[in-house]
Amino acid sequence: MKKIQKIAGVVGSRALAHCPALLARLDALHGAGELAEVVSGGAAGVDALAASWAMRNLVPLTEHLPDYAAHGRAAPLVRNGRIVADADLVLVCWDGVSRGTLDAARKATRLGKRLEWLVKPTPSAGPVAGGLGL
């Protein structure tokens, strides 16, 4: 039986330069032959960590950069939607503060995408302005 490979969308806070849980999860998916591609947003922090992991492990990488010329201030949020739309599985490294990461998680939930929260706090850890919407 052939393994089904997944496209892993990686979203996370720019403030998180280290996320051992993300690296371990990518290693596990890759080691099991279940990882076809990594999709991320090309930002500092978690995105850069995912990109360097993909390059080191020779896994195809797609980076959706925000298009400010086309979308203005909404560009990062539009970019989040593209990452989530491409992904079969969304790996989330949230610092509990980043609104962009939370936006991506909300979009994934609305689209019925599988989410894995890899950094505490998880969404149940406390109140978030505007509610989680998950």
**CA distances for 69 relative to 6, 63, 65, 74, 75, angstroms:** 31, 17, 12, 10, 8
State residue 50 phi and psi, 5-degree precision: -65, -40
Give 133 or 97, the one with higher predicted confidence.
97
Residue 20, token pair as written in the block = 């051992």
Query: pLDDT of 75-129, one tens digit each?
Result: 999 999 999 999 999 999 998 888 999 999 999 999 999 999 998 655 554 445 4
Residue 68, token pair as written in the block = 């400010």
- Helix, strand, coil share (%) of the chain residues, nearest 5: 45, 20, 40
Note the pLDDT of residue 103.
Answer: 94
Query: pLDDT of 55-65, one tens digit each?
Result: 999 999 999 99
User: Residue 1 pLDDT > 90, yes or no?
Assistant: no
Query: pLDDT of 7-37, one tens digit each?
Result: 999 999 999 989 999 999 999 999 999 999 9
Domain locations in the chain as residue ranges:
6-125
Q: Are 98 and 77 in contact (CB under 8 A)?
A: no
% of the chain surpassing 90 pLDDT: 78
State residue 54 phi and psi, 5-degree precision: -60, -45
Closest CA to 49 of 38, 36, 64: 38
104 vs 99: CA distance, rounded Å: 9
Bridge partner residues of 38 (DSSP): 8, 61
CATH assignment of 6-125, among 3.40.109.10, 3.40.50.450, 2.30.110.10, 3.30.70.3270: 3.40.50.450
Note the pLDDT of residue 134.
Answer: 54
